[in-house]
Structure 1
Amino acid sequence: MAKVGKRISAAREGIDRNKTYALDEAVGLVKERGTAKFDETVEVAINLGVDPRHADQMVRGVCVLPNGTGKNVRVAVFARDAKAEEAKAAGADIVGAEELVQEVQGGKIDFDTVIATPDMMPLVGRLGKVLGPRGMMPNPKVGTVTPDVAKAINDAKGGAVQFRVEKAGIVHAGIGKVSFSKEALLENVKALIDAVQKAKPTGAKGSYMKRIAVSSTMGPGVKVDLSTIAGE
């Protein structure tokens, strides 16, 4: 068995792995234990009572975190003419059409999220095998295929987080940094949980949110008492 380092051992102290904590206490414990040499991301894992193999139980959406993510998000926009100029004015990091498709096909991916105008999707569709596995393929359901590129860019840079349930029925998302105040992290995690609740699919039966845990990049997970979350 691998030896557990002193920092990790110290981070685990005071956390009962079999206990669930009130949401505010869980966030506080995670923040206190984010002691790595970099500003760790605070992450949320939500175990849902769905089977995403069935189309009517798929959960996906987008949540604009009220206090942002703490990340510098690089945005690429597929657009032409006036929409391309609008994207540049709104702060897009990369804007292009055919030439940008060629760069991405060649393996050059210098961005974190992708936005496209509807007329560009036949072109962007060629990149499905490249962008799809990275979770970057534009989709109208999460607002990344839109004629309003300025709003989409502002949302992406201002704290928009996309979420999609994995095969095991779990939604993962980063909701800020340990350097955030506890209050800011709480507002963000509540916004995400609310967005996932609103995205409940028609095919979901029984208990929808089964378990929630909060952690930092290098810290231990802390289980959340679902009774402390409004709506559960």
Structure 2
Amino acid sequence: MSLATLASHCRTWAGVSRFNTRREFHAAPVVLARKIKERPVLTKQQLAAKARKKALKAKKNIYDTEKMPLNDAISVLRAVEVASPNATYELVIKTQSPERGATVPKGRYSLPREPKTKTEDRILVFAEGKAADEARRAGAAIVGGPELIEGIIQGRHSATLYLCTPDLIRTITPRLGRFLGPLGLMPSDRRGTVTDDIAGFMKRLQGTSEWKGDSVGAIRTAIAKAEWPVEDVAKNVRHFLSVVKQATGNAKTSGAEDSLFQISQLSE
């Protein structure tokens, strides 16, 4: 092949190559967006069936299979503990854990039928003058004014219950608030332990016991004997539950039969 012919072929290839590398425009039809399929509206029966199916797949609580009416639960416990008829049973009420710095719930109660002998409270009263004399006659173990503060902090004076008259509460609060407050023993208007009627308050305390929640919100109390009739045990449980509900502001919640209780053997 001659040089002239080869040069002619090269020019022809270059022209075709330049032509093919150009961007061509064309009129293609617009691609339509994918149509979203509308979900069908479910009927009430279909929604209920869907909810049941979801509930079956949900993780079960280990106590779900143990829930039963209160009277049936007591009957089961009596059957299990037939060999220990003198056992004392403890009722545990689980509440929400108190927030940090919140006041631990507590109160006093008297059951329709007491499962064990009550212990006497050792009462310390902040009072002066006539109120102090009335407190001593009512049976207070320690009675005095601000002079008792140092002895309480140092441990020389101890009591299971502290009462105070309204005229002394501001005097004792600055020093004793941080000491008795965390123990749940500081006199307060809300608990009724700041009162002018010291003798009347102490008279109402006779025959009652104190309940108190722990750090995780659990309240425990001896509730009954295993040998008692089912009706007596149920009456004690309902009464104590109503006391706790009123003290914690849950008096409008459901009854005892709808709540989950854990009644365990406490002692012989």
Q: Could you tell me the TM-score, scaled by structure 1's length? A: 0.62
Q: Give aligned-pair identity as a percent.
A: 24
Question: Is 1:128 aligned with 2:177?
Answer: yes
Contact residue 122 and residue 141 of structure 2 kept, 8 A: yes
CA offsets 1:167-211 (integer angstroms, 9 cap, x no match): 5343x2435686996777665443321012224548x99999864
Q: Structure 2: state its 5+ residue gaps.
A: 1-62
In structure 2, the partner of 1:110 is 158
How far is 1:123 from its partner?
A: 2.5
Residue 184 of structure 2 aligns with an amino acid whose one-letter code is G
Q: Structure 1: state its 5+ residue gaps.
A: 1-15, 220-232
Partners of 2:93 and 2:159 in 1: CA distance: 27
How far is 1:114 from its partner?
A: 0.9
For residue 198 of structure 1, the aligned residue among 235, 246, 264 is 246
Q: Could you tell me the TM-score, scaled by structure 2's length? A: 0.55
How far is 1:135 from its partner?
A: 1.7
Distance 1:59 1:26, change over 3 A: farther
In structure 1, the partner of 2:190 is 141
**Which structure has the larger Rg?**
2
CA offsets 1:141-163 (integer angstroms, 9 cap, x no match): 22111111112212334214254
Residue 53 of structure 1 aligns with an amino acid whose one-letter code is E
Higher strand share: 1
**Which has the higher relative contact order, 1 or 2, with Cα contacts under 8 A spaced 6 or more apart?**
1
Partners of 1:30 and 1:99 in 2: CA distance: 53
How large is the RMSD of aligned CA atoms in angstroms?
4.3
For residue 92 of structure 2, the aligned residue among 34, 42, 45 is 45
Map 1:39-188 onto structure 2 (within 5 A).
43-48=90-95, 50=96, 52-53=98-99, 60=105, 62-66=107-111, 70-125=118-173, 126-164=175-213, 166=214, 168-170=216-218, 172-175=219-222, 187-188=235-236
